[in-house]
Amino acid sequence: MKAVIQRVNHASVTVDGDVTGEIQKGFLILLGAGADDGKAECEKLADKISKLRIFADENDKTNLSINDISGDTLVVSQFTLYADCRKGNRPSFIKAGDPVKAEELYEYFMKCIDAKINGKVEHGIFGADMKVALENDGPFTIVMECNNGEIV
109 is catalytic: no
Q: Please identify which of the residues 55, 80, 109, 140 carries the catalytic annotation.
A: 80
Q: Please identify which of the residues 78, 126, 140, 141 carries the catalytic annotation.
A: 78
140 is catalytic: no
80 is catalytic: yes
Q: Please identify which of the residues 62, 79, 109, 141 carries the catalytic annotation.
A: 79
Q: Which of 76, 75, 78 is nearest to 121 (CA)?
A: 75
Residue 33 φ then ψ, to 5°: -105, 130
User: Strand 130-147 vs strand 2-15: parallel, antiparallel, or unpaired?
Assistant: antiparallel
Triad 10, 29, 19: Cα angle to 5°: 50
Residues serving a catalytic function are 78-80
